[in-house]
Structure 1
Amino acid sequence: MYRSLAADADARDLGVPDVLRHQADRRARLRAAGSTLAVALVVVGVAVGTQVVAPQSAPVPSPAGTLTPTASPSVSPSPSVTGGSPSPPASPTTPGRSSGTTATPPGVTGTPPPRTPTSIPDRAFFKLAAANQIGIAPEFRDLDVLPGLCGADYPSEAAIVQGRTRKVVYKLPQNPGEGYVPDGTYTHSITIYRAGRADDLLDELRRAVRDCPQQERSGGNAQVLSRQRLFADSGYGDESVLFEMRSPGQDINGDPTGVEDVRLVRAIRVGDVVTILWEQGWENTSSQRAQVDGDSRRAVAAIRAWLG
């Protein structure tokens, strides 16, 4: 066996070392190229399979309340379709809040408050119910909208935009109509205040009534003692103030009647507008609470319809 192997080895040319190294390097380069080609084919196959399974027809929406990354840190404003000024870029949203909405505090509706008007039309004033009309049309006059209360000053008057006042004559439903002696009169006013200042008047009025429990005022032909009292009041407009002025009654000659004279005054705020009904009676009559309440509701309805 050894002789046979030696004979075969002598018959073969094993080659020089340089040739053997060249062949080994060539085989190594072929193996590396084959591995790279195999990896590339795998990557291409995965990409093609992804395109087939999930086509790029629409992006997957982001979960609600999460931020969506933008492609660029700055967004150029897009021109308006109508040819006006370019639309500003959309502001970023706060996490946990949907885009384009503003958080609303609990208990507050999303309806924006009414704008502050600048003028008062006739339609802003209420109309008497048919049963209260006596055939005398309301007359617009320059009148005091509130009674004097121990010389109280109302700083909020400096915030007035516009005001109108009228005198309203009415009768009670149970009494005859046109041609009958009236049962009462109102000094009815509507005043517009600068934004956020109307509630100042109601605060000042409450304080004035509390600080003036009684005072001397004119009554007929003599001075009488008037007593003021503030009532709890709600259900009219955004807020309201109701108080009475009570004094001994007098006839046209100034003699005591033995019956107290009661006047009711109600101020109601609707947004930046205040309306006041000051009931002043007619020839020794006193204010009827049910009548004042009903006309107060009509006054609020007319103002809300005007403000829209």
Structure 2
Amino acid sequence: MSAEISDLYRSLTVVADGVEVTRPELVRRRADRRARIRVASTAVAVVVLLGGVAVGGRLAFSADGSAPLPPPADTPGPLPTGPALRPSPSVSPTLSASPTPPDSTSGGRPPASTTGPAVPRTPTSIPDRAFFSLAAANERGLESWTKSEVLPKLCAANYPSDSAVVQRRGRFLAYKRPESPAESVPDGSYRHTITIYRAGRADDVLRELRQAVRDCPVQKLSDGTRTWRQRLLASGEYGDESVLFEMRSPYPDGMSEPGAEEVRLVRAVRIGDVVTVLWEQGWEHTTAERARVDADSRRAVAAIESWLD
């Protein structure tokens, strides 16, 4: 702008109607700022237009199949075409991973042993150590080997399992109570037998015995002097399985208090293919005591288990 015009503006710097006229320097600066804004806006529009033309040209160019377009910067590239990479298996901090053999059918577990534990064989003979010993306080010193009856007569019972007997041994054993003097008459006695049966037949013995007791609830001795009543009792846990039954009969006249009964107890226990029978027979009409028979039954089972181990 010429100097004369500048001087003219200065001379016109007056207040008209209370409003000051803008100075020429401010007018010039405002005109320059508007010019710069117009230039920047024009440049941005040109850049956007050129970018659109370039992208459109590439799309048209690639449509002819002559050259592929590179993917945008934020688009994941194609997956590799080489051998597939598998992620490493995660391993629990408390468990260690172990590979499964190709021919394994057990899910990585080691195959079961083909031999396994030895199956116990059925014994063929009964040694003396298979029989139990009385507690020292009950020892009476009266013992003998016998081949007498294994069980009391139960009406007309018979036992087909007897055909499977491999060997049988028995003994007679007298005992006393701890408080009885050593030289006194015994307080009771046992007929104790051990029988080996062919493999798989010993369980028939207890089944047949249970049925024999059920079939013979009452029987009279052959001489007709006494009548006995039989019944099964809860045997408890002895060996693999066991049977306990009692026999009851009123005492003969004059042998005890009126109404008193003589009691006999019989327990059969199976341990594998072996059956032991403890038949308490008393001594001169004494009565069997359940606690005593239970204790000696446990001793009998322990002796047989020790022999079979």
Residues 6-57 of structure 1 show CA distances to partners (whole Å, capped at 9, x for unaligned) of xxxxxxxxxxxxxxxxxxxxxxxxxxxxxxxxxxxxxxxxxxxxxxxxxxxx
Q: Per-residue deviation at 1:101?
A: 2.8
Residue 178 of structure 2 is matched in structure 1 by 173
Counterparts of 1:151 and 1:112, CA distance in 2: 41
Q: Per-residue deviation at 1:254?
A: 8.0
Counterparts of 1:275 and 1:224, CA distance in 2: 28
Q: Per-residue deviation at 1:115?
A: 1.8
Q: Per-residue deviation at 1:223?
A: 2.3
Q: Which runs of 5+ in 2 are unaligned?
A: 1-96
3-state DSSP of counterpart to 2:156: coil
3-state DSSP of counterpart to 2:194: strand
Q: Do structure 1's residue 142 and structure 2's residue 147 form an aligned pair?
A: yes
Counterparts of 1:247 and 1:237, CA distance in 2: 29
> TM-score, normalization: structure 1?
0.64
Alignment RMSD, CA only? 2.5
Counterparts of 1:258 and 1:186, CA distance in 2: 25
Counterparts of 1:307 and 1:263, CA distance in 2: 29
Counterparts of 2:102 and 2:211, CA distance in 1: 52
Residue 182 of structure 1 is matched in structure 2 by 186
Residue of 238, 241, 244 corresponding to 1:239: 241
Q: Per-residue deviation at 1:276?
A: 0.2
- Partner amino acid for 1:128? L
Residue of 210, 216, 235 corresponding to 1:212: 216
- Partner amino acid for 1:168? L
3-state DSSP of counterpart to 1:166: strand
> TM-score, normalization: structure 2?
0.63
Preserved CA contact (<8 Å) 1:184 1:287: yes
3-state DSSP of counterpart to 1:205: helix
Q: Per-residue deviation at 1:233?
A: 1.7
Residues 107-141 of structure 1 show CA distances to partners (whole Å, capped at 9, x for unaligned) of xxx855532100000000000100111122x2111
Q: Indicate the percent of aligned positions where both proteins have the same amino acid.
A: 61
Counterparts of 1:258 and 1:283, CA distance in 2: 18
Q: Per-residue deviation at 1:180?
A: 0.5
Count of residues in correspondence between the two structures: 212
Q: Which runs of 5+ in 1 are unaligned?
A: 1-60, 69-92, 104-109
Residue of 153, 159, 165 corresponding to 1:154: 159
Residue 18 of structure 2 is matched in structure 1 by none
Preserved CA contact (<8 Å) 1:131 1:172: yes
